[in-house]
Amino acid sequence: MGNGYPSDICCRTDQSSWVANAHKDRLLYPLIRKNGQLERASWEEAMSLIVEKTKEVQRRLTNHGIGFYTTGQLFLEEYYALAMIGKAGLNTLHMYVSLTDSGAPRNPEC
């Protein structure tokens, strides 16, 4: 194609993903805000913080205080994992998949 993208990429969404994943500024490790500053953290520390904050929301607002919003860009396996986490694991009512808000114009060739 001559534009720096692999030849099998045909739509803007795919092109943007490829650029973002290969970008030199892409984060390769988690960051946690401490004392107002983002600091590098281990994956274990980051995941523990997510669990802690999720449990805090559950205590204050019940499981229905947690919601999931995704675009229609996931693969079937990702939707299944999301359903297992949201419905079976957290028992939340708030799960929404937007099939129109993909963030990029649709290309009929894709």
Q: Is the pLDDT of residue 10 over 80?
A: no
Q: Is the pLDDT of residue 6 over 70?
A: no
β 31-34/94-98 pair status? unpaired
Q: How far apart are CA 96 and CA 27, in angstroms?
A: 27
pLDDT in tens, 49-73: 999 999 999 999 999 999 988 877 7
User: Is the separation of the CB atoms in 12 and 107 below 8 Å?
Assistant: yes
Residue the block writes with tokens 């947690």: 66
pLDDT in tens, 12-57: 556 666 677 778 888 899 999 999 999 999 999 999 999 999 999 9
Would you state the pLDDT for residue 55?
Answer: 93
pTM above 0.85, yes or no: no
Q: How far apart are CA 54 and CA 59, in angstroms?
A: 9
Element (H, E) at 56: helix 43-61
